[in-house]
Amino acid sequence: MKINLANIKKAKKLLNLGECVAIPTETVYGLAGDAYSDKACMKIFKLKKRPKNNPLIVHYLNKQDLKKDCNFNSNFLKLYKKFCPGPITFILDLKKSSKISKIATNNKRSLAVRFPKHPVTRNLLKELKFPLAAPSANPSSRVSAVCSSDVKEDFGKKIAYILDGGKSSIGLESTIIDIRKKPKILRLGGLNISTIQKALNKKIVIQNKPSKISAPGQFKLHYSPGIPIRLNAKKTNDREAYILIKKTKLIKPNYYFLTKNRNLNEAAKNLYSTLRKIKKNKFRFIAVSKIPNKGIGKTINDRLLRASKF
Ligand code: TXA
Ligand code: MG
């Protein structure tokens, strides 16, 4: 992807003024602001209509930049070396001296931290003197945005600028791991858990359905297109949009293919844009064919299940 330096400069200027700017990442687009500024973080909450007790995830260029805000440990360093920049978010302990806005953390002593891989956003981070608080760029509890037109559709002129970086290559949010003590997964995401387990050489607890919710990716209703979804559907009627992952002999107007050859990475990349398209085409019901529960298929199923609790 060609980097447009003038666009990055424009984003930088607005962020320096405490404005919110949408930024591209390899997972989904983020709604970004200066993580050290209360004013900018407050704006993010307001734009997203996000509950104040749901802390913001903060994006850094690299661990050198993070050092002043968080404490590291050996598990973090192992995973950082192997997977960063990339689709993994760490929950770490905040340092007392950290300048991260208390609005962003909701006064918590921990911080969700990610190192995005997208070259446009990396170039932007290089230019800034602060890290970027950036939750997914969608109204709270709705489908995330995977291209600039999705963000425009959701926020219109309410946000100062959308930094375009094409379509997100992964298309699903990052995997969240609480790495402070015994590592546990709080949200399935773009990075496979088995790969993380291999890197740490141990089995990791998955705690994405706890009684005490610590990441709203864990809320039941989330990622919702606002239309009831039926999973593992073998048959459908013409009134339902039917989501498929392999070629069919017959093609009907209500068929939506995430991939034609069961390529689950391709399916992940197309999931959110397909849900948006179905909504635009005014379907009132969605049926989804069975999706293999392996690799990123697990994350696809997780999101569909949550979206289906409408
Ligand atoms: O891929 C991603 O992670 C994208 C891109 C833009 O980086 N961001 C994203 O942000 O999905 P968001 O806010 O939609 O999801 C981040 C999740 C939320 O569920 C939030 O509750 C959780 O991280 N979170 C934030 N701070 C936390 C903390 N201190 N402890 C536990 N969970 C936290
Ligand atoms: Mg989100």
Bridge partners of 89, per DSSP, are: 114, 176
Residues with CB under 5 A from ligand 2 (ion): 136
Q: What is the pLDDT of residues 65-84, one digit of tens each?
A: 999 999 999 999 999 999 99
Index of the ligand 1 atom closest to the CA of residue 110: 29
Q: What is the pLDDT of residues 51-65, one digit of tens each?
A: 999 999 999 999 999
Ligand approaching nearest to the C-alpha of 216? 1
Rounded Cα distance, 93 and 90, in Å: 10
| Ligand 1, atom 32: closest residue by C-alpha | 215
Query: What is the pTM assigned to this prediction?
Result: 0.96
Q: What is the pLDDT of residues 106-118, one digit of tens each?
A: 999 999 999 999 9
Please give the share of the chain, as a percent, with pLDDT higher than 70.
Answer: 95
> What is residue 273's predicted lDDT score, i.e. its pLDDT?
97
Would the pLDDT of 145 be above 70?
Answer: yes
Q: Where are the alpha helices (DSSP H) in the chain?
A: 5-16, 38-48, 63-66, 74-83, 102-105, 119-127, 148-155, 193-200, 264-280, 296-308
Ligand approaching nearest to the C-alpha of 223? 2
57, 83, 299: which to mutate for ligand 1, most atoms within 8 A of CB?
Answer: 57
> What is residue 219's predicted lDDT score, i.e. its pLDDT?
55
Q: What is the pLDDT of residues 200-221, one digit of tens each?
A: 999 999 998 745 545 555 555 5
Q: Which of 183, 88, 143 has its CA nearest to residue 272? A: 143
Ligand approaching nearest to the C-alpha of 109? 1
> Ligand 1 centre and the CA of 160: distance in Å?
22
Index of the ligand 1 atom closest to the CA of residue 23: 6
Pocket of ligand 1 (CB under 6 A): 25, 27-28, 30, 54-55, 57, 89, 91, 108, 110-112, 114, 134-136, 173-174, 176, 186, 214-217
> Ligand 2 centre and the CA of 247: distance in Å?
31
Beta carbons of 181 and 78 less than 8 angstroms apart:
no
| Ligand 1, atom 15: closest residue by C-alpha | 135
> Ligand 1 centre and the CA of 141: distance in Å?
12
Per-residue pLDDT band for 50 (boundaries 50, 70, 90) equals very high
Alpha-carbon distances, residue 127 vs 5, 100, 122, 123, 134 (angstroms) = 11, 18, 9, 7, 16
> Ligand 1 centre and the CA of 124: distance in Å?
20
